[in-house]
């Protein structure tokens, strides 16, 4: 099996850490994900193990693995100590254990831009279209089946593949609509950002929620009449009929595998039509309007490069407030993986499209407002981990960010630094830029606030706070004289 080299560190000794079940992997009792050290393991029961063996021997699955479209997967040998995974009480136990390629940084669909969600949807459909003629289908159709290697989507839910019963439609269609198709329709047809919808509802957008948004002539927009209105209507009328009965009736009426393939092709065609570029905002041109001189830029780049190369190659770098990704790209030369976080969906969408065009696999752009970061979601609030729980960076870049949080969003300066330091792993580095109150950009933000509201927004107060969080290893005042960069070693 293919296990792409993502530059991960040497594997720790087996079972040096107790296997821990992944909180987001419980819906399908046939298989469950565990974490053991740096290993990602999938335990399979007897049925799922049989599915896996059939899948591994199939004609369509190995090419998808080789192409990197499905995450690298291998079956652990029977003697591997990693196969000792906990089982639920009264469970017959796991029969087989798979080891998966580790995704460099787990992200959620509500952190993706429009083009990212669209590419993820197209990959899901491509995989299903390859599986159907080979006699396989997927049990579900969730956007959470997909993750990223930089700007390359990857299907991670190997346990979702199951042999296809002729004459049965795709069980994952409704999930696909709710977590992928409908959010894309919101963007493409209405120009709305889908991220808040997906963040609010782990199961995605219901047809009943979509209906009122597409009244009148909007019903005629591509895909709306069938996938939204007809879908919702038939769903309501069929609520009392079991899916088992409907499956039998459809098979009896002549539903075939070819029809299932035609449906997937139709969905692919529709998703390709749903292209949309979020409207430009002032953040799109921020790099040109933020007032940096050429000397400032050059000095800042030298400082960032020196900070990243100071303590050996970095594994994970977080670039917070990444904007056009200038420093994220720079960081990617000195790190295995860079997560570029930016609050504006339009900026992230442009960055993703650019990076995708360059086939960049070491930078992952994400949409997120640092003043309102992704919370824990789903069951008990841990099914989908919060951003803070996932962030464990070797280096955190916070360039031209602090003033936006401290002045623009009224976050107390000590809180800002506690947050930034908390996103780094123990012993990590924080590279932070302080924009002085007399800098034109800071002055512009302060002009919209009452005088004297931020008495501690001063360089000396900032440096005192930095010293409380770690050791300042390096600093540089940019030639303009209104911005200072710091490299802080965290304990």
Partner 1 sequence: MRLAAPSKIKLTANLMINGMGWGNWAVVPDAGQLAAYGGISPARPPKSEMWGTAAVSVCDGRGKERSVNHLAYLDAGSGSLIVQAVVGGIAGIAVAAKLYWRRLVSRFRRQPTDQS
Question: Closer to partner 1 at the Cβ: 145 or 374?
Answer: 145
Q: Considering only the stretches 161-169, 190-198, 290-298, 449-457, report the one whose residues sit in contact with partner 1 under the rule CB under 8 A.
A: 161-169
Size of residue set near partner 1 by CB under 8 A = 67
Residue 51, interface with partner 1 (CB under 8 A)? yes
* Least Cβ distance, residue 234 to partner 1 (angstroms): 4
CA separation for the pair 282, 344 (Å, rounded): 10
CB 432 within 8 A of CB 407: no
Residue among 66, 233, 289, 309 that touches partner 1 (CB under 8 A): 233
Residue 246, interface with partner 1 (CB under 8 A)? yes
Residue 87, interface with partner 1 (CB under 8 A)? no
Give 137's contacts (C-beta < 8 A, 6+ positions apart): 128, 131, 161, 162, 163, 164, 168, 170, 171, 172, 260
Question: Closer to partner 1 at the Cβ: 208 or 285?
Answer: 208
Question: Closer to partner 1 at the Cβ: 170 or 454?
Answer: 170
Question: Closer to partner 1 at the Cβ: 47 or 418?
Answer: 47
Our measurement of the distance from residue 282's CA atom to the centroid of its chain's CA atoms, rounded to an integer in Å, reads 24
- Distance, first Cα to last Cα, the chain: 40
Question: Closer to partner 1 at the Cβ: 136 or 462?
Answer: 136
Question: Closer to partner 1 at the Cβ: 1 or 310?
Answer: 1
Our measurement of the distance from residue 256's CA atom to the centroid of its chain's CA atoms, rounded to an integer in Å, reads 35
* Least Cβ distance, residue 256 to partner 1 (angstroms): 8
Q: Is 111 left (phi over 0), alpha (psi -120 to 50) or beta?
A: alpha
Task: Count the Cβ atoms, other than its own, within 10 Å of residue 319.
Answer: 31
Please report which residue ranges of 405-439 form alpha helices under DSSP H: 413-422
CA separation for the pair 407, 435 (Å, rounded): 11
Residue 301, interface with partner 1 (CB under 8 A)? no
Residue 1, interface with partner 1 (CB under 8 A)? no
Judged by CB under 8 A, the chain residues 254 through 273 that form the site for partner 1 are 254-255, 258-260, 262-263, 266-267
Q: Considering only the stretches 79-87, 249-257, 312-320, 335-343, report the one whose residues sit in contact with partner 1 under the rule CB under 8 A.
A: 249-257
Q: Is the C-alpha dihedral spanning 419, 424, 429, 435 positive or negative? A: negative
Q: Considering only the stretches 174-182, 295-303, 321-329, 453-461, report the one whose residues sit in contact with partner 1 under the rule CB under 8 A.
A: 174-182
Half-sphere exposure of 381 (CA within 13 A, CB side): 6
Question: Closer to partner 1 at the Cβ: 26 or 286?
Answer: 26
CA separation for the pair 340, 111 (Å, rounded): 11
CA separation for the pair 438, 108 (Å, rounded): 38
Residue 57, interface with partner 1 (CB under 8 A)? yes
Residue 221, interface with partner 1 (CB under 8 A)? no
Residue 204 to residues 61, 182, 199, 210, Cα–Cα distance (Å): 28, 8, 8, 11
Judged by CB under 8 A, the chain residues 10 through 39 that form the site for partner 1 are 27-30
Judged by CB under 8 A, the chain residues 126 through 155 that form the site for partner 1 are 134-136, 139-140
Give me Rg for the CA atoms of the chain. Answer: 25
Residue among 234, 280, 453, 467 that touches partner 1 (CB under 8 A): 234
Residue among 91, 235, 281, 410 that touches partner 1 (CB under 8 A): 235
* Least Cβ distance, residue 46 to partner 1 (angstroms): 6
Among residues 430, 446, 448, 426, the alpha carbon closest in space to that of 438 is found at 446
Please work out, in degrees rounded to the nearest 5, the angle formed at the alpha carbon of residue 454 by the alpha carbons of 453 and 458.
Answer: 155
Half-sphere exposure of 44 (CA within 13 A, CB side): 22
Question: Closer to partner 1 at the Cβ: 165 or 449?
Answer: 165
Q: Considering only the stretches 46-54, 107-115, 122-130, 414-422, report the one whose residues sit in contact with partner 1 under the rule CB under 8 A.
A: 46-54
Tell me which residues touch partner 1 (CB under 8 A).
27-30, 46-47, 49-51, 53-54, 57-59, 134-136, 139-140, 162-166, 168-175, 177, 226-227, 230-239, 241-255, 258-260, 262-263, 266-267
């Amino acid at each position: 099996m293919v296990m792409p080299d993502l530059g991960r560190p040497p594997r720790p000794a087996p079972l040096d850490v107790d296997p821990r079940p992944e909180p987001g992997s419980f819906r399908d009792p046939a298989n469950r994900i565990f974490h053991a050290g740096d290993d990602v393991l999938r335990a399979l029961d007897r049925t799922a193990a049989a599915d896996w063996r059939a899948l591994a021997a199939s004609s369509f699955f190995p090419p998808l693995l080789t192409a990197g479209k499905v995450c690298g997967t291998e079956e652990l040998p029977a003697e591997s100590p990693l196969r000792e995974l906990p089982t639920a009480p009264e469970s017959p136990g796991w029969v087989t254990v798979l080891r998966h390629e580790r995704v460099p940084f787990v992200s959620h669909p509500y952190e993706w831009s429009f083009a990212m969600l669209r590419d993820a949807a197209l990959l899901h459909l491509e995989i299903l279209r390859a599986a159907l003629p080979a006699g396989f289908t997927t049990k579900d159709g969730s956007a959470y089946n997909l993750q990223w290697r930089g700007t390359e989507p990857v299907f991670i839910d190997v346990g979702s593949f199951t042999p296809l019963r002729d004459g049965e439609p795709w069980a994952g269609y409704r999930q696909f609509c709710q977590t992928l198709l409908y959010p894309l329709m919101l963007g493409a047809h209405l120009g709305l950002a889908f991220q808040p919808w997906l963040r609010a509802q782990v199961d995605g957008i219901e047809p009943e929620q979509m209906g009122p948004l597409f009244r009148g002539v909007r019903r005629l927009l591509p895909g709306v009449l069938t996938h939204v209105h007809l879908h919702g209507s038939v769903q309501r009328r069929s609520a009392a009929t079991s899916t088992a009965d409907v499956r039998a009736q459809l098979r009896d009426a002549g539903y075939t595998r070819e029809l299932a393939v035609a449906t997937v092709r139709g969905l692919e065609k529709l998703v390709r039509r749903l292209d949309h570029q979020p409207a430009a905002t002032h953040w799109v041109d921020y790099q040109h309007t933020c007032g940096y001189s050429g000397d400032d830029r050059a000095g800042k780049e030298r400082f960032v490069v020196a900070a990243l190369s100071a303590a050996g190659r970095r594994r994970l770098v977080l670039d917070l407030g990444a904007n056009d990704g200038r420093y994220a790209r720079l960081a990617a030369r000195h790190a295995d993986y860079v997560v570029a976080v930016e609050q504006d969906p339009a900026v992230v969408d442009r960055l993703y499209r650019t990076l995708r065009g360059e086939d960049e696999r070491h930078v992952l752009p994400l949409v997120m407002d640092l003043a309102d970061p992704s919370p824990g979601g789903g069951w008990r609030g841990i099914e989908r981990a919060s951003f803070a729980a996932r962030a464990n960076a070797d280096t955190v870049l916070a360039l031209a960010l602090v003033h936006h949080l401290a002045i623009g969003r009224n976050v107390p300066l000590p809180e800002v630094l506690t947050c930034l330091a908390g996103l780094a792993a123990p012993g990590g580095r924080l590279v932070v830029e302080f924009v002085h109150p007399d800098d034109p950009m800071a002055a512009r933000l302060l002009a919209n606030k009452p005088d004297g509201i931020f008495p501690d927004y001063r360089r000396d107060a900032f440096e005192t706070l930095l010293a409380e969080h770690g050791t300042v290893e390096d600093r540089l005042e940019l030639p303009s004289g209104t911005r200072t960069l710091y490299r802080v070693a965290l304990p």
